[in-house]
Each structure stands twice: as C-alpha cells, then as structure tokens.
Structure 1
Amino acid sequence: MTAVSSPPEEPLLDVLIVGAGLSGIGAAVHLHKRCPGKRYAILEARDAIGGTWDLFRYPGIRSDSDMYTLGYAFKPWLASKAIADGPSILNYVRETAREYGVAKHIRFGHKVVAASWSSADACWSVEARDSKTGESRLLRTRFLYMCSGYYSYDKAYRPQFEGEDSFAGTIVQPQFWPQDLDYSGKRVVVIGSGATAVTLVPAMAERASHVTMLQRSPTYVVSRPSEYEFAARWRRLLPEKLAYAVTRWRVIAESMFLYRMARKYPEEVKRRIVALARKDLGRDYDVATHFTPRYKPWDQRVCVVPDGDMFRAIREGRASVVTDTIERFTPTGIRLACGQELAADIVVMATGLQLNVLGDAAISIDGQPFKPGQALSYKGMMLSDVPNLALAFGYTNASWTLKADLTAAWVCRLLRYMDRRKLAIAVPRRGHEAGAQPFVSFTSGYVQRAIDMLPKQGDRKPWQVYQNYLQDLLMIRFGRLADGVMHFGRKGTMP
C-alpha cells in the first residue's frame, strides 16, 4: 500500500493572516508598523487583493458606509465621495498594500482548509490548498489571525421558487454576476430589499426599460449625500491627515448619536425616517406599504442610498417597488400571492449572503474538534478556550473597519506583551458566570439562518460584544491584558 504523503512544512511564522481583503491588509499594516520584527504571511484563497471589493462586480457596487470610517485610521481617504463605488475602494485597499510593502507577503490561491493547535509546540499547523495545483501546503505559526470575513465566497443564500424552470428569461445572483449580461432595454425584477437590492435598482434603471424591486417586507432606507461638505471644507483648511482625522471623528460621533437615539426612541426615529422617505418620494406615494418596516430601526441594518438615487429612479418612473410574496415563476415573469404578474426578462436574486465562521476551515485544539457555535466571543476579538487566535469582525451598526482597526492594534499590543514576558500562549478562559447570548442581535434573515454556527457573547465583561466604537477604543487601548480571564503560558504548558 502506498503511504499518503503529508504536506511539506515551511519555516515557523510569528503570525499568519488569513484573507487579503480590507481587514487582512489592515492587519498586515498594523503588524508592519507596530511589530516590525515579526515574520508573517498572508494567505488569500483568490488570486487578487481586495476581498469583497474584488469579488462583487454587479452594477453600481458601492459601500453603504462612508469612507471616512470604512477607510483605515492610518491612511486618509482623499477622494471627494464619502459613499464610494467598489472600484475606488478596491484601488484604495491595493494602494495601501503597495504603500506599506505588505503585498509581497501574500500567497494567492491558497485556501485554508484546516488548522490544528498543539499546546506542546505552542503553535498552529495550518493546511492550505493551492487552487492551481490542488496540492496542500502546511504552514506553522505561533499566532493565527483570521481576516476572512463572515460570509461564503463560494455560495450565496438562494431560495428556490416554484416554476423557475419554466421561466424563459435569465436568473442571476449578484455575487456571481455575469460580466457579459446585457440588460439594456430589458425588464428587470430584483428580489430583495437589502443593501444589494437598493444599490442594484438605481444602477440598472439607468439602462433597463424598467426595474422593479420585489420585497416581502420593507426596509429602512435613508438618503445621504455622496459628498460631505464639511469634509471638503476641512481639507481646504487643515493638513491632509488632520483633516481626515477630524472628519472621521465627526462621522463617528454623529453615527453613535443617531444609533443611540434609534435604540432609545425607536418610534420617534421610525417616524422621522419614514417622513424623510415620503418627502423624497412625494405625498401620493404609498410609503406606508413600501417603506415602513414592521421592526424597529437597527433591529436590521439601515440601508443608505447616496443622493437619494433610488428615490429619484422611482420618482422618474424608471423603477418601482412591489411588496408581496412570490406564488411562482411563470414563463414571462413572476406571479405574486395577490394574483398580479410581474413581467421580467431578467430576475436578480438579491436574497442575501451565506454566513460562515473562520472561513469554514476545520479547527482542532490538541486533537479535539472545535465548534465556533459553542464558544464565547472574548471582547469581540478572540474565542473562549482557543489559544493564539484572533478574528476580525466589524460592527453591525457602523463601519466594519472601525472594529477591524481596533482589533489589529490590540493583537499587536498582545504580541508585544507576550514577547516582553517570554510567553508563548494566550487563551481566554470561559468561566461559569458568563451566560450565552446571540453574538449579533440582528433579526435579519442571513443572521438568523447562521445563529447556531456563530459564536455567542456573554452577559458581562469581557464576553460582551459592544456595538460602540468609543467603548471599544477605551477597552482595547487601555484595558488590562492580564485581566484574569486571559491566561498566559509558556511553550508546552497550556494555561
């Protein structure tokens, strides 16, 4: 019998970053600046830098967070548009990688399929599969930093509807957008009402004969300017970095205030958001049916439309919204529960993401399989009883990068602390006093579908996940590392 060969091992790394998107590049820059002597590598499953911003290619792709907070704290966003398009964000991430020299540390086409921790060796053994050859490589690292995001790149959430096979038109998913799709003069139905849908509708309406957004229930949609006048004013008056910092802090403070008001006075904020939609759409528009959600603001993410582009498309008759459920597909479109049929040449399934945890890699600790759904999140950055592993997970009520930046700074602080004391292992130990609660309180479908696989949060510090940048900033910069929950040890002794 022929023996199965093991993947070849490589020299031991200090840090292995998984993912070369917005979070992974930011983590590498923090390591470069704060821990210059560390030997690190970045594994990227795809063949390009950028993560989300390289993956998604659908019409109008953009961020629904402003770039003064989605941008890195260390690199000013200099473009005029605060709500930026996908190609501009992708260029910003790639420019950052070049500017700080981290691109040379990336190994493209390497997907992490498994990672096993050994307390005896105080390191992770990470198996990565080469997408070109199919071969596996084994990398060993003292610290594993997961920056692979929170959703699957390989599959999206795709409900099946009766009669799809009879539909004579084209069905597409935004995550796998066919670049040769010509929708000029076509009738388009976009199924969904989240951030992707409200982006697609006005973008496609520029060339399609008509675009209909078909939703089961309404979402909060708010118009914001694509350019901030105060940001332009401060750029004229202040040095580049200072202007960026001032703008960033104003946006942070404003968003924190608005979120707090929404949670404290939900009905008043709801009335205000609906009133703004009515003002944008006109007095005769049925805002009560199509733009008045049943849930409270920020029970799900609030969608942003720059310069009211979707509202404008509706006013001009290039787009419309229908609120109903689907009975079945027909050869020429979609029949609704009310009996109405929507004619369509193209149907876009903007039905949501498929969440995953730790990139769907198989994780084991000292030979025992690890299930993220049974762990507690430590400060939103590590997992209970998992040594030397951090993960980047952003805010749900603000920009992803705000928390990713803080996490990267904290990881560097932890590594320097361990170096000074000649420690090899850091592991947050779960006590019996921390009750488990959902990691994310959102009622959105994509969160609820993954609730069992996501880690939990506790009911007290340091197991709570705060959706508050200032609170996290103080804890991460000034909170004690040896807080009684984080346990440290030397090589060969699991604390």
Structure 2
Amino acid sequence: MAAHMRMKSPGRSFAIVERRDQIGGTWDLFRYPGIRSDSDMHTLGFDFEPWRHEKSIADGPSILDYLNRIADERDIRRHIHFGQKVVSADFRPDEARWHVTVESEDGERKLMTANFLYLGSGYYDYDDPYDAGFDFSKFEGKVVHPQFWPEDMDYSGKNVVVIGSGATAVTIVPSMADKAAKVTMLQRTPTWMFSRPAKDAVANFLRKILPEKTAYAITRFKNIKMQDFSFKMARNKPEKVKEGLHKRIEKALGKDFDREAFTPPYDPWDQRLCLVPDNDLFDAMKAGKADIVTGNIERFEKEGVRLKSGELLPADIIVTATGLKLAVAGKIAISVAGEPVDFSQRYYYKGCMFSNLPNLAVVFGYLNASWTLRADINSDYICRVLNHMEATGTDLATPVLTAEEEAKIEDDNIFDFSSGYIQRAMHIMPKSAKAYPWRLNQEYVFDRKMLKDGPVEDGLLTFTKVGANAVQRDEQLEAAE
C-alpha cells in the first residue's frame, strides 16, 4: 500500500505501524527449516517490483531481501514505526478520524490519529497457533511448533516426527531429512500434492532476452492464467486432475508408491494443494531419509508416538505442524464512536472494504491463487478512493448497505474449503454475498478489472463531508511532507 501511495497518491502522508522490530511478517516470524513460498514469486511478488531471483519458488531469506529492497529503494522504511502493537482503533465520525491506540514493547501506550486505516495485518494469530490438545506429559523428547522455532534447535542424527500434512509439514520434512536420522510425516488424512521445478524456465529465458519489467509482466500473466486454469480444471474435472497428480508422484517415487498415502478423501482444491518443489520430499523418501505414515494418535509415550493401530513411531523430536489459528483485523479492537465492530455481521465490499464501515480497507488474499495478488489491486483501488476524496473535498468514504438491501442479499460461503484452519474460524469471518460487490470474490482477473476500471462512485460507496477536524496537527499520525 505504501508503494502504491508513493506512485499514485503522492500528496498523502502515511505511516506504517509494525508490531515487530523489522518488516517481513510471516517471512520474519517463521524460522523453521526450509521456510519458503508455496506459490511462485512472479505472482506472490508485487506487480510493480520484478522478481529477480533464479528460483521462482523462493526461500524465506530471499523473500525478505525482496521486501527490504522495496522498503529501501522506495523510501518507505523511515515511515515505519517499529515495535508498536496496535491495540485498538476507534473511528470518530464527527472528526472523520481514526483514534489508534498503540503499545510499545515496554508497555507504554500512546494515541495516534489517521484519516484512513488500511489493515495489512495478515490473517492468522501471531501469538497462538492452533492447539490440537495433545498431551505430551509422558514424552521425554523435545516438542516444537513451527511458528516458534528455537534458534538453537539441533536435530542432527535424531528421529523426528512431524505431525501434519499441510504446506508447513511438506516443507519441513525434506529440509530436516538431510541432517536427521529419519523424519516421519504423520498425517491423519493425506493432502493432494503436486511437484514442479523451483526454477521457472520460461521466466529465466525471458529475462535474458527482454527488459526486466517486460519479462516479469509476461511471466506474471502466464502464471496467473495457469493458476486460474488449474483451479477451474480441479473444480470441473476433479477425477482427471487426481489422475494427473498421481502420475507426477508415480514418476518421482515409482509404480509401487503407496497411493493411499497420497489420496485424500476430498477433491483437489477443496483444500489448497501442497507444492513439492524439485521433488524434494519424494527424493528424501526414496533415499530412506523420510517417510509418510497415515494414522490416528493414541497417545504420546516416553519414546515417541503410539498410534491407534498399535504402531510406535520413535521420536527424539516432535514437530506439531498442526496448523494456524485465524484472526480478523490483526485482533485489533475496532470500533466506531465507541461501539465495537463485529466483523462477522459486516459484508465485504469489493473484497477490500466493509459494509457501513467508513475509511477502512483490508487485505484478505486469495485462497485459490497467490495471496498477495489482492494486495496490489486493493492498494491501487484505495489510492483511487483517496484521490477521489481529495478531488471532491470529502472526508468519509463509506460502502452503504441499507437494512432493506441487506434483507435481499443471498449469502455465499466463499470459504468452501475443507481446511481445518478455515472451518475453525468461520464464526468470526465477515459475510460474503453471492453477488458482487458485497463479496470476497475468488477470481483475480475479474476483481482486477472491476477495481481498476469500475467507477469509484458506484452508488454504493458514498463520499460525504463533516465539519472541521477538532484535532491538533501534532497529534496526527504523521505530518505531511
């Protein structure tokens, strides 16, 4: 959003409030072995900044380099307030201002104000991962959750059991296999996996013969189309997609591979597919350094995990890759004139604002494509909104949904994914209608066109003015440059 404002709303001052001591979010917080993207960086990256690395499936440090370069080259870093946790944000309609309470690491609180609030706070709980309720009291080894990986973790020559079958587990298992004696991925149910090269041959070829930005744009277009095609194919012809996925695994593991271990009880893209770059997981399995066991846990014993089948999986280290816990609005207490906002009672507006909630935008990315694709189009759209407010001299931008119109809305469960972390959070998620614009749409190409070319004044997003702001200049979030 800051980069888009630099380019498209340069007259506006801004500040970024960052809870951590450095930028990066997930890529700074997660330090487990092999931390990497599970989407290609030509679509997970931003539209304005080409991805220059040879590998399009990138590791965490490479992604951090990318983000840091953007912050520094675009003069964004000096606008970031590090070590500041946003506790609450109250919108005062009579002032057309957000009063934001932030807390520093030493517990000191202070008030900041802003005309507009843009939440880039992610989608999961940074403090508490999902707790599967395991009892490890009798286990004498070490237990670690990937979200809080110890810096001094030594797993050389150890037997490791990784509980889970999602993207985190599929990343950790082959990464630990090089040093560990044996790594076992224990799954209750299998996950659909697909392998692809970590390097995008087309992208690397285009970079040699075309200007960097042109090569990036072409590769990005190609990969967006491929993501869209793959998702629709999975929904329309699931059996054909299943066959294709199994063929790839068979090519990597041989005809005798355990098909049941790679056949979930749901169709592809009912949950996100797990990426296996360069067959790393399959190679570790062929080398005898890793394996996959499907079963239910009976209990944790002194020496490992006892399954209900009676089998004991020996373990010196247990990694609980059991999933995330979702959080709305970064767990910030959002209110309007002191009245708490219940997001589960608000409808998404064009996937970036909420019904009857003024001067607030959010990013909740795509479930069926690279997450950050929505970050670009939302940022671009909100710049259009800000510019319209400035041109018309208005203070409030509110997506208005009347009670009469809301009664006509037909709700749609756009989170039709069976993933546990999605299902566990359904009760806190905002509403989504079947019809645009009151929905969090899951089709990037459509959304991009609507947000870029559709009118800002559409009869639903209203622009109004209030009286003079009763706030002193030195209380502002950041003084204008």
1:308 to 260, 267, 279: 279
Say if 2:174 is the partner of 1:173: no
Residue pair 1:380, 1:464 contacting (<8 A) in 2 also: yes
Q: Unmatched 5+ residue regions in structure 1?
A: 1-26
Say if 2:328 is the partner of 1:357: yes
Measure, in 2, the Cα distance between the counterparts of 1:468 and 1:370. 28
> TM-score, normalization: structure 1?
0.92
- Per-residue Cα deviation, 1:56-105 (whole angstroms, up to 9, x for no partner): 00000000011111111111111100000000001110111000000000
Say if 2:116 is the partner of 1:143: yes
Residue pair 1:281, 1:315 contacting (<8 A) in 2 also: yes
How many aligned positions are there?
Answer: 464
Q: 1:200-219 residue pairs with structure 2 within 5 A?
A: 200-219=172-191
Residue pair 1:223, 1:307 contacting (<8 A) in 2 also: yes
Q: Which residue does the alignment assign to 1:192?
A: 164
Measure, in 1, the Cα distance between the counterparts of 2:414 and 2:264. 23
Say if 2:83 is the partner of 1:83: no
Measure, in 2, the Cα distance between the counterparts of 1:450 and 1:391. 18
Q: Which residue does the alignment assign to 2:75?
A: 101
Q: Which residue does the alignment assign to 1:484?
A: 459
Measure, in 2, the Cα distance between the counterparts of 1:347 and 1:179. 16
The one-letter code matched in structure 2 to 1:254 is M
Residue pair 1:439, 1:454 contacting (<8 A) in 2 also: no
Residue pair 2:414, 2:441 contacting (<8 A) in 1 also: no
Deviation at 1:250, TM superposition (A): 0.8
Q: 1:42-441 residue pairs with structure 2 within 5 A?
A: 42-131=16-105, 133-162=106-135, 164-287=136-259, 289-430=260-401, 431-432=405-406, 433-441=408-416
Deviation at 1:437, TM superposition (A): 3.0
Deviation at 1:439, TM superposition (A): 4.6
Residue pair 2:143, 2:319 contacting (<8 A) in 1 also: yes
Measure, in 2, the Cα distance between the counterparts of 1:343 and 1:485. 60
Measure, in 1, the Cα distance between the counterparts of 2:239 and 2:395. 51
Residue pair 2:164, 2:187 contacting (<8 A) in 1 also: yes
Residue pair 2:304, 2:314 contacting (<8 A) in 1 also: yes
Deviation at 1:187, TM superposition (A): 0.1
Measure, in 2, the Cα distance between the counterparts of 1:365 and 1:307. 50
Measure, in 2, the Cα distance between the counterparts of 1:126 and 1:436. 32
Measure, in 2, the Cα distance between the counterparts of 1:385 and 1:438. 21
2:3 to 16, 25, 29: 29
Measure, in 2, the Cα distance between the counterparts of 1:351 and 1:66. 24
Q: Which residue does the alignment assign to 1:471?
A: 446
Moved more, 58-67 or 434-443: 434-443
Residue pair 1:158, 1:349 contacting (<8 A) in 2 also: no
Measure, in 2, the Cα distance between the counterparts of 1:416 and 1:345. 58
Deviation at 1:349, TM superposition (A): 0.2
Moved more, 484-493 or 226-235: 484-493
Say if 2:416 is the partner of 1:444: no
Measure, in 1, the Cα distance between the counterparts of 2:459 and 2:409. 14
The one-letter code matched in structure 2 to 1:387 is P
Instruction: Detail structure 1 runs of 4+ shifted over 4 Å in the superposition.
Output: none
Moved more, 270-279 or 206-215: 270-279
Q: Please tell me the root mean square deviation across aligned C-alpha atoms, in Å.
A: 1.1
Q: Tell me, what secondary structure is at the counterpart of 1:393?
A: coil
Deviation at 1:492, TM superposition (A): 5.0
The one-letter code matched in structure 2 to 1:154 is D
Deviation at 1:464, TM superposition (A): 2.4
In terms of fraction of residues, the more strand-rich structure is 1
Measure, in 2, the Cα distance between the counterparts of 1:260 and 1:436. 22
Q: Which residue does the alignment assign to 2:473?
A: none
Measure, in 2, the Cα distance between the counterparts of 1:273 and 1:322. 19
Q: Tell me, what secondary structure is at the counterpart of 2:116?
A: strand
Residue pair 1:439, 1:455 contacting (<8 A) in 2 also: no
Moved more, 71-80 or 439-448: 439-448
- Per-residue Cα deviation, 1:213-237 (whole angstroms, up to 9, x for no partner): 0000010110010101111111111
Q: 1:11-22 residue pairs with structure 2 within 5 A?
A: none
Residue pair 1:201, 1:211 contacting (<8 A) in 2 also: yes
The one-letter code matched in structure 2 to 1:135 is E
Q: Which residue does the alignment assign to 2:472?
A: none
Measure, in 2, the Cα distance between the counterparts of 1:465 and 1:391. 11
Deviation at 1:278, TM superposition (A): 2.2
Deviation at 1:340, TM superposition (A): 0.5
- Per-residue Cα deviation, 1:341-379 (whole angstroms, up to 9, x for no partner): 100000000000111010101111122111111111111
> TM-score, normalization: structure 2?
0.95
Deviation at 1:409, TM superposition (A): 0.4
Residue pair 1:439, 1:456 contacting (<8 A) in 2 also: no
Q: Which residue does the alignment assign to 1:7?
A: none
- Per-residue Cα deviation, 1:137-176 (whole angstroms, up to 9, x for no partner): 11111100000100111110121224x1010100000000
Measure, in 1, the Cα distance between the counterparts of 2:438 and 2:268. 25
Q: Tell me, what secondary structure is at the counterpart of 1:151?
A: coil
